């Protein structure tokens, strides 16, 4: 996975975009996120395509090089039995047991876990790898449905502002000599067009952050049109696209078409 991480970092450096260049009619409401540190949004072309496995593999590659890393999961359902941040944290410690990793919760997620200020310390050292879950619900359904069942709604503004605040706080803590090799991943819930807690599509909600995007698809028949459709919906700078192979029915098309149009890389299921 290290070669994919290098390609991702190179693509980030080569992405000569700015907030001004991307500004549209709603520019006044955009949320500034520092780009001196590589920060990516991680999206799936659909639900269950392996985006968390890709995130875990990228974090594990960072761990192998002892580099500062943040994995942020703003929205999580099916919690706490299903926790993507916990999975990524455990994958990081599996790769390098001596690495300092911590999984922490925001107050909203802590309420879903039945604990206030709950923190899962996977090592006793100061954390080099931080995995964090902000908002969570128990039911394993879409966030908008979970809100209908359990309450505890989260507005679009609170979701984006709190996510940006977490990323900015982490970036400010990264030392100047570590910035170029640090990495932050902000992973969505479900697919690009999956609704958030308010019912609005997450791609529309998070667009205010203007994050460069890593798009993940799977190798099942029909994956290519799904990837293109997701990329069109996202509208943020598409830095890299990963396809987890599985049964790579559309493998030839992925290599010949998507590779050129979407900077697409085929993967085995990352571990």
**In this structure, what are the phi and psi dihedrals at residue 50, rounded to the nearest 5 degrees?**
105, 20
148, part of any domain: yes
Residue 120 has pLDDT above 70, yes or no: no
Segment (H or E) for 232: helix 223-234
pLDDT for the residue numbered 212: 83
Res 147 pLDDT > 60: yes
pLDDT, tens digit, 9 for 90 and up, residues 176-211: 888 888 999 999 998 888 999 999 999 889 988 888
Is 20 part of a structural domain of the chain?
A: no
17 pLDDT tier (thresholds 50, 70, 90): very low
Edge-to-edge strand ranges of the sheet holding 101-105: 119-121, 101-105, 129-136, 69-76, 183-191, 39-44, 213-218, 238-244, 264-267
**Better-scored residue on pLDDT, 225 or 185:** 185
Q: Tokens 């920060």, residue?
A: 39
Q: Does 22 fall in a domain?
A: no
Domain count along the chain: 1
Whether the predicted model's global pTM rises above the 0.85 cut: no
**Could you tell me what percent of the chain has a pLDDT over 70?**
64
**Spatial separation of the C-alpha atoms in residues 196 and 202, rounded to whole Å:** 5
Residue of 100, 95, 33, 44 lying closest to 69 (CA atoms): 100
Say if CB 218 and CB 250 are below 8 A apart: no
Report the alpha-carbon distance of residue 122 to residue 138 in Å, rounded. 23
Determine the structural domain holding residue 247 and report its residue range.
2-14+32-267
In a domain, 24, yes or no: no
Q: State the pLDDT at residue 16.
A: 40
Mean pLDDT for the stretch of residues 78-83:
93
Q: What is the CATH number of the domain that holds 71?
A: 3.40.50.300
Is 82 strand, coil or helix? coil
Angle in degrees, CA 31, 35, 38, rounded to 5: 120
DSSP 68: -
pLDDT category, 32, cuts 50, 70, 90? Answer: confident
Assess if residue 166 is contained within a domain.
yes
Is residue 42 in some structural domain? yes
């Amino acid at each position: 996975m290290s070669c994919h991480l290098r390609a991702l970092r190179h693509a980030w450096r080569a992405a000569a975009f700015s907030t001004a260049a991307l500004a549209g009619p709603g520019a006044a409401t955009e949320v500034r996120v520092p780009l001196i540190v590589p920060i990516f949004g991680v999206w799936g072309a659909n639900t269950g395509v392996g985006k968390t496995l890709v995130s875990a593999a990228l974090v594990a590659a960072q761990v192998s090089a002892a580099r500062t890393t943040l994995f942020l999961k703003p929205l999580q359902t099916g919690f706490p039995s299903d926790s993507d941040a916990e999975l990524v944290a455990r994958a990081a410690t599996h790769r390098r047991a001596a690495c300092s990793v911590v999984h922490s919760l925001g107050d909203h997620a802590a309420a879903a876990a039945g604990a206030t200020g709950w923190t899962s310390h996977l090592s006793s050292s100061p954390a080099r790898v931080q995995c964090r879950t902000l908002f969570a619900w128990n039911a394993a359904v879409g966030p908008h449905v979970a809100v209908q069942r359990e309450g505890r709604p989260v507005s679009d503004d609170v979701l984006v502002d709190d996510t940006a605040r977490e990323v900015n706080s982490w970036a400010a803590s990264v030392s100047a000599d570590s910035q170029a090799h640090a990495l932050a991943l902000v992973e969505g819930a479900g697919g690009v067009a999956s609704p958030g807690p308010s019912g609005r599509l997450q791609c529309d909600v998070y667009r205010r952050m203007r994050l460069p995007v890593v798009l993940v698809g799977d190798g099942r028949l029909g994956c290519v049109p799904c990837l293109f459709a997701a990329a069109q919906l996202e509208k943020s700078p598409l830095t890299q696209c990963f396809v987890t192979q599985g049964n790579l029915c559309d493998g030839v098309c992925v290599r010949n078409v998507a590779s050129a149009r979407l900077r697409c890389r085929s993967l085995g299921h990352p571990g």
